[in-house]
Structure 1
Amino acid sequence: MPRRDSKQLGAYYTPPEVVRCLVSWVSAGIGDGSILDPSCGDGRFLEGMENAVGVDIDPAAAKAAAQGTRATIVREDFFSWVRRSNRRFAGAVGNPPFIRYHRFNGDGRRRALQYCVAQGVRLSGLCSSWAPFIVGATSLLHKGGRIAFVVPAEIGHAVYAKPVLRHLLSSFERVEIIAVREKLFPELSEDCWLLRASGFGRRGEVAYFAKLDSFDPRDDRWVFEPVPIAEIERWHYRLRPFLVDRAVRDAYGALADQPGTIRLGDVGNIGIGYVTGANDFFHLRPSTAAQLGIPDDLLRVSVRSNRDLAVDDVDEELVASWLRDDRPVLLLDLRGVDDLPRAVTDYLESPGGRVARRAYKCRTRRPWFVVPQVRVPDAFLSIMAGGTPRLVRNSAGVSCTNSVHAVSLTNGLDLGRVTTRWNGPLTAFSCELEGHALGGGLLKIEPAEARRVMLALDVDLSDEEADLMANGVRELRRWRNADAT
């Protein structure tokens, strides 16, 4: 399949050794029972099976599957087919499509989410496509059935994955999550794990978590840590904490209960900066602003990216260096301006302005040229980092785009105390634990995740506690391959 088409459909075909591992596990538990692959692609999961059904929306993939297997192949959208199918299966296996929410849209998305609601699972509007496929396949199982799927590592941290995991834990007697550090798909930035579950229709009290440095088809003697479901609930259905040793998790939990420990969200408001809709138009170089004759009082210096936060403080000296270097850091800020100067109206009517006003964010606001939510926070927090995200003071009183987080402290807390404690071992581990890995070894932290980050504000860690937090940092950075940054 051409790469562009495969990306649109979320179709990245699974390595043969992974296919054999999942198929043999499912088959071992169901004997001659029927098997479903809800997104069969070229049919590699169904090879050699007769009592099996594969479904795929892509004509070329369905044709290849029909020619290469003895299974029944259905060329149709899975959630259209599943609504009218009376078939039930002893097992389900496969690699469901991974399409992020902004491309997983239209009627297909609507059908998928509506079907999940009918099964009692309400998925977020931000969910990726694999999530409803897991729910849909599970709904077609006989009692006692089992599933085995490749899933994105997002199952371990994404908010939208929480109802999927909760559904699995309440639907199967045994749920196994196998985290794999090295990529199953070397050509993709996405990390993938394995999911296995058995005993459909019966609920267990414990889930099982295994950590593999790499997937070795010759060795499936995986060591599973039994994790009480109550403990998963305490971690809000996030599996990332189970990548570190229990001693580290226990120490972190004990520190969270100490009176001198706080969450960043307890003392500050964290959100993204403003969205212009057309950054190159709304951000000017000092030389350009002077040439256009735009008044200084309509220009506001802004932090535009994480690269601007390689400092402890955005101070007047740093801002002066940006301006001397003629960087495009001056936001055209027209909030509250009723009588626009001629220089500004000329700029808004320029060819660049005519292009900018057609951008989505611009054409959906009134007036199109007023950028909303421009504010001056107390500090900035980097969104992505190779190490610990930086919390940087804003003594110059500048603003920021949505490429960084804006942090405004509450309750009159001294910013110096917060930034000093931010650089401690507890916060370094907390950022790793509450954030999530991106491709290329980067750590990303969303506003909701940043609010959960802990600081030892009025408590000093013991040497043992500091060592445990440092061990946790090293392990989680190893899991996100931080040496690649």
Structure 2
Amino acid sequence: MNFKEQESATKLRGGYYTPLPIARFLSKWVLRTRPHNILEPSCGDGVFVEAFYNLHDYELNFTGVELIKEEADKARQAVSEKNLIHGTIINDNFLSWALKESVAGVTYDGLIGNPPYIRYQYLEEKDQQLAAEWFSRYGLAFTKHTNAWVPFVIASVGLLAPGGRLAMVIPSELLHVLHATSLRKFLLDQCNRILMIDPTELLFEEALQGTVLLMVEKKQIASSSSQGVSVVSAVNNDFLLQDPEQFFQNATYVAGDILNGKWMKVLLDPEELEVFEKVRRLPSVRKFKDIANVDVGIVTGANKFFLVDDETVTKYRLEQYVHPMFGRSEHCPGIVYDDAVHQSNKIRGLPANFVMFGNTPIEKLSATAQEYIRLGEEQSLHTRYKCRIRSPWYAVPSVYSTSIGMLKRSHWYPRLILNTAGAYTTDTAYRIEPTVQGISPELLVFSFVNSLTALTAELEGRHYGGGVLELVPSEIEKLLIPVSDKLVFDIRELDEKVKSGQDVDSLLAEQDTIVLKAAGFSSYECEIIHEAWRRIRTRRHRLIVEN
């Protein structure tokens, strides 16, 4: 995690300004219903003012709000140059200003813009309080893991008049991150139709953030049911030359239980969704939480101090205090972590030794161990929160190993690691143990490698612009695992295939013929599930699927 002082000015203000073609595309759609008063939160330098030019032929009231004075001045200049006689730019904090508008009962026919992307911990204290206040205003569950764009969207929808339209450029993580759960529920409660156009290409390279174009229509009657959500994929930016209204009217909207929780299932096409819902009900397809426990790895508070290479062990004569440990993908090239892999890691100079002093008083440790602890104190490690709440600070708690480990993050697909070496794992990995008689660690690890489990990882996990997939324990518990007592398998053979770097598409397709077929899948169902996983994984990587 980076600290506030380490981040760029652009990232701290959340300013990734909208390209003009996108601003025009969204403006054209909002203007289709001929709104009379339009609001733009965080209007920046006025790109949407530029976009509105020549797109309307009637009296239009435009209000833009911008926190940074220099940017507000640029927006005012744009209003003047484009002859928007009824254009007003307000230099103010949008969340604060909008709260007063909401209390006064003011609404707008159209909302448009690109809200700032700023992590909660980087917000000023008053902005953190305002964010929480907007959640509270609509009875939404608040989390400090939120991002500035979330309360911006909540406030904007709140100010939207019945039947009004909102069009915004927002992070694609709306579909899947836990901190946007309240916003997803709020949008379904407030809006009749919710469309996201999902560009394959990153719109803001500097942000390393996938984005979508959010286009929503607020309900005319608050108590009416929502028609649901649709996601339309755009392979390239040619969609910007098309009529946005056609996208909105022709989209297939999904409603109902599929929208409970995350919205990733909306990415499945109707055929894929039908097959997915069918196979998940097969008796041999189990939820992870029903067959295994998952717990976080060891929280050291200072991984670089406690997880060391052989050179450090030798230098400080720590042999009696170390134990095998892994926590990185480079530690685990396959699906088995045994003594041979551990020795290979040590030879390669990887930090594969966990330094474990326990709660032994420092004076009872060896002289070289005491020297190593003092080295940590010179680096102020003992003042870190996780360390200073311990006595002594180097006494790491919850030290135990399990028969299976799992790295928190993955690039292609998540893997379980059969831990025959009895190694410990850092908090970059999880500790897993089967809980059902007849499901051995070997069976669970082998069965985990298949397209259905990989697909549910894509649907339940969260990802980032760089293409990394991350799973937390609550998401792992929801993964679907096909487990059959009829399965005949060779875990060492699979381990060698994974370590050899075999193409992942062919590897999972091969596994499907073993694991999914044993679980009762037809060849057709295997193919559909595999292709669904491949397509959604490709989307995560922000690559273009070649037909």
Q: Name the TM-score, length of structure 1 as normaliser.
A: 0.91
Select the residue among 273, 276, 281 that pairs with 1:257.
281
Worse-matched range after superposition: 21-30 or 431-440 = 431-440
Distance 2:25 2:331 in 1: 47
Select the residue among 199, 218, 228 that pairs with 2:241.
218
Structure 2 residue matching 1:430: 3-state secondary structure: helix
Distance 1:482 1:306 in 2: 22
Pick closer, same or farther for the CA change 1:316–1:482 going to 2, 3 Å: farther
Structure 2 residue matching 1:259: 3-state secondary structure: coil
Aligned ranges 1:232-311 → 2 under 5 Å? 232-233=258-259, 236-294=260-318, 296=320, 298-311=321-334
Aligned to 1:160: 179
Does the 8 Å contact 2:292/2:433 carry over to 1?
Answer: yes
Q: Does 1:454 align with 2:480?
A: yes
Select the residue among 5, 19, 24 that pairs with 1:20.
24
Aligned to 2:398: 373
Structure 2 residue matching 1:227: 3-state secondary structure: coil
Distance 1:450 1:269 in 2: 10
Distance 1:377 1:421 in 2: 18
Kindly provide the CA deviation profile for residues 154-205 of structure 1, in whole angstroms up to 9, marking residues without a partner as x: 1111122222122112112222222222222244311111111124443344
Pick closer, same or farther for the CA change 1:213–1:436 going to 2, 3 Å: farther
Deviation at 1:295, TM superposition (A): 5.1
Kindly provide the CA deviation profile for residues 332-377 of structure 1, in whole angstroms up to 9, marking residues without a partner as x: 2233434641433332223664432233432344432222333212
Does the 8 Å contact 1:53/1:73 carry over to 2?
Answer: yes
Aligned to 1:193: 212
Matched letter for residue 177 of structure 2: A
Aligned to 2:461: 435
Q: Does 1:36 align with 2:39?
A: yes
Aligned to 2:92: 76
Matched letter for residue 18 of structure 2: T
Q: Does 1:345 align with 2:370?
A: yes
Distance 2:211 2:298 in 1: 33
Does the 8 Å contact 1:146/1:200 carry over to 2?
Answer: no
Matched letter for residue 424 of structure 1: N
Measured on the aligned residues, the alpha-carbon RMSD in Å equals 2.4
Q: Does 1:53 align with 2:78?
A: no
| Count of residue pairs the alignment pairs up | 478
Does the 8 Å contact 1:306/1:403 carry over to 2?
Answer: no
Distance 2:91 2:285 in 1: 56
Deviation at 1:135, TM superposition (A): 0.7
Select the residue among 135, 154, 162 that pairs with 1:135.
154
Does the 8 Å contact 2:411/2:468 carry over to 1?
Answer: yes
Structure 1 residue matching 2:195: 3-state secondary structure: strand
Kindly provide the CA deviation profile for residues 25-44 of structure 1, in whole angstroms up to 9, marking residues without a partner as x: 1122143x111111111122
Pick closer, same or farther for the CA change 1:255–1:155 going to 2, 3 Å: same
Deviation at 1:294, TM superposition (A): 2.9
Deviation at 1:149, TM superposition (A): 0.8
Worse-matched range after superposition: 378-387 or 253-262 = 378-387
Deviation at 1:397, TM superposition (A): 0.3
Does the 8 Å contact 1:176/1:208 carry over to 2?
Answer: yes
Does the 8 Å contact 2:160/2:218 carry over to 1?
Answer: no
Worse-matched range after superposition: 100-109 or 184-193 = 100-109
Distance 2:204 2:319 in 1: 53
Matched letter for residue 362 of structure 1: C
Distance 1:375 1:58 in 2: 52
Structure 2 residue matching 1:62: 3-state secondary structure: helix
Distance 1:374 1:107 in 2: 40
Aligned ranges 1:307-456 → 2 under 5 Å? 307-338=330-361, 340-343=364-367, 344-350=369-375, 353-412=378-437, 413-456=439-482
Structure 1 residue matching 2:466: 3-state secondary structure: helix
Aligned ranges 1:71-150 → 2 under 5 Å? 71-85=87-101, 86=104, 87-104=106-123, 106-150=125-169
Aligned to 2:538: 478
Deviation at 1:239, TM superposition (A): 2.1
Does the 8 Å contact 2:191/2:226 carry over to 1?
Answer: no
Segments of 5+ residues of structure 1 without an aligned counterpart are none
Select the residue among 206, 211, 214 that pairs with 2:227.
206
Q: Name the TM-score, length of structure 2 as normaliser.
A: 0.81
Does the 8 Å contact 1:113/1:122 carry over to 2?
Answer: no
Worse-matched range after superposition: 264-273 or 133-142 = 264-273
Pick closer, same or farther for the CA change 1:337–1:105 going to 2, 3 Å: farther
Deviation at 1:482, TM superposition (A): 6.6
Matched letter for residue 211 of structure 1: S
Does the 8 Å contact 2:300/2:386 carry over to 1?
Answer: yes
Distance 2:542 2:66 in 1: 36
Deviation at 1:230, TM superposition (A): 0.8
Does the 8 Å contact 1:348/1:354 carry over to 2?
Answer: no
Segments of 5+ residues of structure 2 without an aligned counterpart are 1-6, 54-59, 485-518
Matched letter for residue 461 of structure 1: F
Distance 1:39 1:122 in 2: 24
